[in-house]
Amino acid sequence: MNLDFTILLPYTNMFLKGLLMTIFLSLASVLIGIIIGFLITLGRMSKNKILSISAKFYTDFIRGTPILVQVFLFYFGLPQIGIPIPEIPGLPGSREVITGIVAISLNSSAYISEIYRSGLQSIDKGQIEAARSLGLSSSQTMRFVTVPQAVRRILPALFNEFIVVTKESSIVSIVGLRDLMYVSSLVKAATYSAFESLIVIAVIYFALTSVLTKILSVMERKLSVHD
């Protein structure tokens, strides 16, 4: 079998745009997931039974169903029951972008909420009791004592979630979002060379995740030294 990667050179710009879309999608999804995940964690740890049970059901449902099903639910299911996916005027493909960000961020938030919860529960109870004995309320203790320490401890896990989302985001190409995987499909259809285009995006994903993994290693060493 003869491989000819030179036939992909005219599509270099398409691969670059696909890479930028993949990075944007992953970063936006994780940032939104961090916010939603924190709110879910507060719900899980709330003394309100309704909030606690609802938050637990959310995390169990999201973690217990395939992300592909979740993407399809948003893209095909919501419009069918009368909930249209908004589009940004003048921006082609915005419906697919919004679907991808919403689906992946909600999926990621369920995992991030568990990261938060484990981080908060890892704080020594003696520190919480000491803060309360000094006159701090529960919310003040959470804000000034528990959360700052927990965030530093869970930073590596949050960054690792970003790496995972970067790879998993390729699933949204199934609904037409022009990320790396979708670009590969376009190039394959234009050149009739599936193997070469798939090898190229595999190398791109590997290079991207390798860089992110290296950054994570540096972050973990610095946090270890700080501890």
From the list 32, 21, 74, the residue with the least C-alpha distance to 208 is 21
- Whether 118 and 37 have beta carbons less than 8 Å apart is answered as no
CATH of the domain at 123: 1.10.3720.10
Q: Is 161 in contact with 111 (CB distance < 8 Å)?
A: yes
Query: What total number of domains does the chain contain?
Result: 1
- Contacts of 73-81 with C-beta under 8 Å, sequence gap 24+, read 73/103, 74/99, 74/102, 74/103, 75/99, 75/103, 75/175
The parent domain of residue 176 ranges over: 5-226
Nearest to 76 by CA among 104, 49, 96: 96
User: Is 145 within 8 Å of 119 (Cβ atoms)?
Assistant: no
Q: Along the 227 residues of the chain, how does pLDDT read in single tens digits?
A: 577 788 889 999 999 999 999 999 999 999 999 999 999 998 988 889 999 999 999 999 999 999 999 999 999 998 999 888 888 777 777 889 999 999 999 999 999 999 988 888 777 777 777 777 777 777 777 777 777 777 778 888 888 999 999 998 999 999 888 899 999 999 998 988 888 999 999 999 999 999 999 988 888 787 776 55
